Structure 1
């Protein structure tokens, strides 16, 4: 006697696109009609226990599954060992979750476990890396089951973004990659997104369920696509296994919410054998995985972010899903309000005419309702009076509708995440999905602690805050300026960093010590500065010990010069943060003395490109020596004075050093003009002279405005160059003077004009003009004729 067949009469498969208001409404309506006693949703089964939190979540949120144990140094596991499954308020899977939880209906995720998909991804990443190291890149696989390269759901469950063209792949492959595109083409549409919007997303309430038709259409498309791709075959085999187990448990009305592509493979359960499905799933790699909820953003749901199953305008979809009536009217009203906030004159009549235009365009195009295209055109043509630049910013902000969800404190988190959440709450520093500038006064305890937290997170690779250059009113050592923006990936970075410690402070300290172990001398001094900013007292002694050892043994002058600036800053400003900086100052002065000894040999024989790079090092060292002051600064100045007298210095370095000495008052005007005259003497190469001048004027040319004799020397040199040599140095001069601001260039030009006018009056004999008599004769004859005619008339 054969095995009894499962009763599938109560099975309802709802094939959806992952994010869409029409799909979400249709799922809610179908569930209310079916009244299922079990709900299965495409997603990782490791998250089954997390469904109880749905009522406390505020979308957009995402399920995050990650490998629990990632050994230090395991790059493949760190980069590939995680995946997200996002949900918005308008996601049909989210509506199914809400329905099940609200009605106390058992709900499970039925996709292939993340334990298999992540293990497979890591194995493939390691294989690709080994192949690359062996010199054979090979052709990488398509990514994890149910996830694209970013760890997010497959694009083929919705309109395929960026699918290969028909010329690049065969017809069966094209059908599999872009099934909705094939259906849209059959319906006479050239845009799969618009077709899906018209037939599904813009359906009205009370219309028949679209899911039987979707499943039939996908079955027809799958029949033309050839054998199923191996990954999807495994996913669907696991979904069927879960579905069979649910039916065997006695559930009579089972609703399955899955990507539209998978709907026929689950609806026609009897067409697939248990034996074949079991064989497909045999021997899959497996790893230990943890799942949790994390906040998500609309920006990360947009297809422009690279998310394979993304939608072009999540803000528009959220609006359509949450607005009860008149969505076009309300959308354009919000746009008018936003334009008025920007200082634009927009009236109620603009909104009325905009609505009429959007609805008229929809009728002309045969669409059931006005969509985003029609609304956007109305916004540009009417509210912005045909100016696309005015409309672009408002349209983008509204189309994305940036918002970030939230998760409750009861959500599973690693201890490091909990510590950060507590710190954010204590310091009143809320994570937000948009750029926010934060200026801190370090004399205030709360603001100093905010800066310390941001520095510690940067040490852990969590770039929530990025230091920015302070503006004019925030100069000094007591100020810090940041630009904040929270991204969902930072939760992954926190999870990865949790191996360093359970609190932000302990993890950052452990990470600093680990980084110091293999750091170069410049990296160590930079790390020392970071430890001071982050107040990592536990890590600082170890970092300083390594710094002292490296400074004593490293003989490379460029390394020493690169190491000095952060160390000098730390020594100078350490007292601001309550740090004993005497030891730092001692190490910095030792490094500066070694730089002074090795500077002359290091600059000997450098070509122009190398000299340009070295000038930057000299500038940074000069600033560091000035910060340190004392004997070290005096030794540095003496080194520059000695070096400036050398005739063999590269032109750019010689010019720069002389400018430093001039600004410091260590070279008087006469001596400076003498040195410039030597550099620009007829015996010098024009390119060398131009390099000297570029180094001298680097940063500011105002010295030429205040010293007419210096400017005169340069002017005389330029006038005396033969044409071919002037052509050679012209690009260098353009680069030099082009770096100055417009007002500065105008002042230099005025000073040059003043010199030109003053020269004949001061010394007429000094001006010598060679006249070409033959070329001048016709002009003289014409002038004489004019003068003669004028006399005869008088």
Structure 2
């Protein structure tokens, strides 16, 4: 009889029903399915008795991808129905690690970008918003989908396959020809994405099957495939998944109960979720939603209310005010911040909360067992809070295990306090251990990095470092130190050394200097104190900062906190790591003094440069402060780098008091935001010290604490002053003052 092709849209209940009917009708010898052919010897693992959704996770050195299945996936129905009717079930697509899938993380993501033009034309013709609504209108809302072949022919007729699709289709066609040859005259059912079906038909028509042989499976040097638990949340297009269908919870109901009962379920589910959030939903609202959905279905020619009929009915009944954003089902995207609560709960109901579970006898990668043994052996397979004294070798080893799990993204291990890069040493850690269902899936997926926990964490950090920007390398280095992975640490140190010599990014230099300096100064605990390679990074980074700031020019602008953090890190490098520097302190002071006097330099940088020179022992002439433009930004720079020196200088505080007191109301209001930013570098106790110095400068007795304890927000007071100033000006202009 030959091949019977069933083109499908992935995760479509209508297509799943069509696949089941086709297999029951034809009772084929073979059922061929778009899926990774390297898993054919292990198809029985799919039928162990899992709770769906699950996914087939495949990885190699360069690539990882998922092949997800839920109850209503046409591919899953093809597997189960094919086996039930005695057919040989085979996957016929290239393995997921093949170069044809480069950049593809989900095998069943529809190729909609390749035929966007024809989809837009069809959407205009049928007066719908997007491909999902179009699909519902044409197929999901009908008891029996008709015209699928014509639909896919139209899509494919306007789109050319790229090199990856061409390679996949040529490979799948070889499987189809071989199956037809070996079927002994019985039918062969071929289930593939509708985009590929026209090309496979053409391939079979153009080349005979008489001499066809089963194609081999390309080999790979490293990698594996395993089943992982999946979830409706990961399947949902509204949360970013590249799936053929959004709203998996809703379509689960369509699959199990049909579109009419699914519509009722959606209305009830949204109402229940809103009431849990204390949002008012009356019986009248629900009646209105049902009535609106039914009316829209009839207007749009649907026998039963489709998904968007129900959603538009709910929106009309439950959201009386204007929407701040279009509903996601009209534009196919994730919800934006500030969405109406009803929209949030509609998306939550559509998504569903089903989480898959693997059968206990499902094979797992070695990493899963290795981690479970480590957790048991070190008492980390518990629930609750644990405290670790990092000076104790056993606790330090437990800390490294937890950090390795953390960098791999394994859920349920949260550090609530502990050492952080660029700070003084902290010798203890607090962790919160929580059992979560997603842990097994995360461990299986982490196995692409290695078979042991240490290897996997090291490979994960190395991959991060390979593509990381300079500013993130210091954090990766600190993670490697926390994980106890010394080989990676050496490579990252070398990368940092090269990066700081070439970068022009002051913010990145600040991140590197502060992080590396903390390790160089403090971390005897982790074995990095006075490390020569770290010292070289500090030396190169400090020299680069000084070279960059001396040529940095620009007019008044808001103070840049990243630049100021870099200047503070440079100060700390000179003060605390002088032994690692090739520069003399006098050289650094000279550069800082020149920058502080450069009227073309940004005001915040001039203030920070003065603070750097001051922190290194140079005595500033406080009288020059009177000629500073953009005083608030200049002070932000000065305070960020020389906070302690300012506190010890009553003369400077006195000059600042005189300058601020001499401002007009308008000048003060303009300068206030920058002044607030500048003084935010002082903690409350130090602000009290400054207040006391101001009182002494004015010869006034009083409580400095009361001056810093305002009952109103200073910005509210400032806004009130500005309003009063404008009112007074208007009264004066009108002769009413």
Partner of 1:99: 81
Q: Is the 8 A contact 1:677 1:713 kept in 2?
A: no
Specify whether residues 597 and 296 from structure 1 end up closer, same or farther in structure 2 by C-alpha distance, changes over 3 A only.
closer
1:452 aligns with 2:433: no
Specify whether residues 685 and 417 from structure 1 end up closer, same or farther in structure 2 by C-alpha distance, changes over 3 A only.
same
1:497 aligns with 2:445: no
Specify whether residues 516 and 321 from structure 1 end up closer, same or farther in structure 2 by C-alpha distance, changes over 3 A only.
closer
Partner of 2:629: 686
Q: Is the 8 A contact 2:609 2:638 kept in 1?
A: yes
Query: 1: distance between equivalents of 2:16 and 2:377?
Result: 38
Partner of 2:714: none
Query: 2: distance between equivalents of 1:103 and 1:387?
Result: 54
1:357 aligns with 2:309: no
1:242 to 169, 175, 196: 175
- String of CA shifts for 1:664-691, please: whole Å, max 9, x gaps: 9x99xxx9xx9443321xxx4636x665
- Offset at 1:102? 4.8
- Offset at 1:503? 0.8
Q: Is the 8 A contact 1:59 1:87 kept in 2?
A: yes
1:18 aligns with 2:10: yes
Specify whether residues 734 and 421 from structure 1 end up closer, same or farther in structure 2 by C-alpha distance, changes over 3 A only.
same
Aligned positions, number = 647
Partner of 1:376: 311
2:596 to 649, 653, 670: 649
Partner of 1:398: 349
- String of CA shifts for 1:392-421, please: whole Å, max 9, x gaps: 221222333365544456556554465457
- Offset at 1:155? 2.9
Query: 2: distance between equivalents of 1:424 and 1:403?
Result: 28
- String of CA shifts for 1:635-688, please: whole Å, max 9, x gaps: x9x999988996873564664477799999x99xxx9xx9443321xxx4636x
2:529 to 576, 584, 590: 584
Q: Is the 8 A contact 1:150 1:307 kept in 2?
A: no
Q: Is the 8 A contact 1:66 1:83 kept in 2?
A: yes
Q: Is the 8 A contact 1:85 1:153 kept in 2?
A: yes
Q: Is the 8 A contact 1:46 1:114 kept in 2?
A: yes
Structure 1 window deviating more from structure 2 (642-651 vs 381-390): it is 642-651
Q: Is the 8 A contact 2:285 2:318 kept in 1?
A: yes
Query: 1: distance between equivalents of 2:468 and 2:300?
Result: 64
1:695 counterpart SS class = helix
Partner of 1:314: 248
Partner of 1:334: 269
Query: 2: distance between equivalents of 1:604 and 1:230?
Result: 49
Query: 2: distance between equivalents of 1:45 and 1:593?
Result: 52
- Offset at 1:563? 5.7
Structure 2 length-normalised TM: 0.65
Q: Is the 8 A contact 1:298 1:400 kept in 2?
A: yes
Q: Is the 8 A contact 2:4 2:190 kept in 1?
A: yes
Structure 1 window deviating more from structure 2 (293-302 vs 655-664): it is 655-664
Structure 1 window deviating more from structure 2 (47-56 vs 317-326): it is 317-326
1:60 to 53, 59, 84: 53
1:712 aligns with 2:657: yes
1:505 counterpart SS class = helix
1:535 aligns with 2:484: yes
Query: 2: distance between equivalents of 1:428 and 1:344?
Result: 44
Specify whether residues 710 and 487 from structure 1 end up closer, same or farther in structure 2 by C-alpha distance, changes over 3 A only.
farther
2:658 counterpart SS class = helix
Query: 2: distance between equivalents of 1:597 and 1:217?
Result: 64
Query: 2: distance between equivalents of 1:645 and 1:225?
Result: 65
- Offset at 1:375? 1.9
- Offset at 1:108? 0.8
2:91 to 104, 109, 118: 109
Query: 1: distance between equivalents of 2:363 and 2:15?
Result: 30
Query: 2: distance between equivalents of 1:467 and 1:22?
Result: 43
Specify whether residues 605 and 58 from structure 1 end up closer, same or farther in structure 2 by C-alpha distance, changes over 3 A only.
same
- Offset at 1:334? 1.7
Q: Is the 8 A contact 1:470 1:480 kept in 2?
A: yes
1:351 counterpart SS class = helix
1:155 counterpart SS class = coil
1:677 aligns with 2:623: yes
1:293 aligns with 2:239: no
Specify whether residues 203 and 652 from structure 1 end up closer, same or farther in structure 2 by C-alpha distance, changes over 3 A only.
closer
2:190 counterpart SS class = strand
- Offset at 1:339? 1.3
Specify whether residues 409 and 242 from structure 1 end up closer, same or farther in structure 2 by C-alpha distance, changes over 3 A only.
same
1:143-162 mapped onto 2 (5 Å cutoff): 144=101, 149-150=104-105, 152-153=107-108, 155-156=110-111, 160-161=112-113
Specify whether residues 361 and 618 from structure 1 end up closer, same or farther in structure 2 by C-alpha distance, changes over 3 A only.
same
- Offset at 1:333? 1.8
1:89 to 71, 93, 113: 71
Partner of 1:252: 186
- String of CA shifts for 1:402-441, please: whole Å, max 9, x gaps: 65544456556554465457668989999xxxxxxx9874
2:5 counterpart SS class = strand
- Offset at 1:110? 2.6
Partner of 2:40: 48
Q: Is the 8 A contact 2:31 2:189 kept in 1?
A: yes
1:369 counterpart SS class = coil
2:35 counterpart SS class = coil
Specify whether residues 464 and 593 from structure 1 end up closer, same or farther in structure 2 by C-alpha distance, changes over 3 A only.
closer
- Offset at 1:91? 1.0
- Offset at 1:26? 3.2
Q: Is the 8 A contact 1:441 1:480 kept in 2?
A: yes
Structure 1 window deviating more from structure 2 (234-243 vs 328-337): it is 234-243
Specify whether residues 200 and 593 from structure 1 end up closer, same or farther in structure 2 by C-alpha distance, changes over 3 A only.
closer
Q: Is the 8 A contact 1:452 1:533 kept in 2?
A: yes
Specify whether residues 588 and 713 from structure 1 end up closer, same or farther in structure 2 by C-alpha distance, changes over 3 A only.
farther
- Aligned CA-pair RMSD: 6.4
1:63 counterpart SS class = strand
Specify whether residues 512 and 426 from structure 1 end up closer, same or farther in structure 2 by C-alpha distance, changes over 3 A only.
same
1:686 counterpart SS class = coil
- Offset at 1:719? 5.9
Q: Is the 8 A contact 1:440 1:480 kept in 2?
A: yes
- String of CA shifts for 1:353-408, please: whole Å, max 9, x gaps: 42233223212332222222222223333345557412222122233336554445
Structure 1 window deviating more from structure 2 (730-739 vs 524-533): it is 730-739
- String of CA shifts for 1:230-281, please: whole Å, max 9, x gaps: 76666555444433433424362433322334556667897433289979x9
Query: 1: distance between equivalents of 2:287 and 2:193?
Result: 39
1:500-511 mapped onto 2 (5 Å cutoff): 502-508=451-457
1:343 counterpart SS class = coil
Partner of 1:201: 140
Q: Is the 8 A contact 2:608 2:639 kept in 1?
A: yes
- String of CA shifts for 1:595-647, please: whole Å, max 9, x gaps: 99989976984545699666423323566899x79x999xx9x9999889968
Structure 1 window deviating more from structure 2 (282-291 vs 369-378): it is 282-291
Structure 1 length-normalised TM: 0.61
Partner of 1:792: none
Specify whether residues 395 and 517 from structure 1 end up closer, same or farther in structure 2 by C-alpha distance, changes over 3 A only.
closer
Specify whether residues 659 and 457 from structure 1 end up closer, same or farther in structure 2 by C-alpha distance, changes over 3 A only.
same
Q: Is the 8 A contact 2:16 2:72 kept in 1?
A: yes
1:42 counterpart SS class = strand
Q: What runs of 5+ residues in structure 2 fail to find an aligned partner?
A: 324-339, 419-423, 598-602, 702-731
2:7 counterpart SS class = strand
Larger radius of gyration: 1
2:280 counterpart SS class = coil
Specify whether residues 734 and 513 from structure 1 end up closer, same or farther in structure 2 by C-alpha distance, changes over 3 A only.
closer
